Amino acid sequence: MKTASPFLELDSVERVELSFNGELLHLPDGSNLAAALLASGVDAFRKTPVSGAPRAPFCMMGACFDCLVEIDGVVQQACMLEVRAGLEIMSPDTTGAFDEPA
């Protein structure tokens, strides 16, 4: 059930199983993915390609890209997605993102 705030939905709906970096989680079906991951204790969604510093959602409205995750090989903003059963979510691999072309 949608409410005025995505955070109010976290305790009011059925939970479904998914994984984040191989760890099984049970999150509220249909809730905002970034909010649900944060509420479950995930505190770093990705690392920066230059320094390796951890990043987690900041704006929650699709502007900052600090919530990037990889699902089925596609890097996406978690704050723009909903929780669905069976998602296999990974931190995006940014290794070599700034390497010189060969």
Other Cβ atoms closer than 10 A to 65: 14
C-alpha 83/C-alpha 6 separation (Å) is: 12
**Tell me, what amino acid is at 79?**
C
**Is residue 89 at the binding interface for ligand FES, with CB under 6 A as the rule?**
no
Residue partners of 96: CB distance under 8 A and separation at least 6: none
Minimum distance of ligand FES from residue 68's CB (angstroms): 8
* Binding-site size, ligand FES (CB under 6 A): 13
Out of 79, 83, 87, 89, the only residue in the binding site for ligand FES (CB under 6 A) is 79
Binding residues for ligand FES, per CB under 6 A?
A: 34, 57-60, 62-67, 77, 79
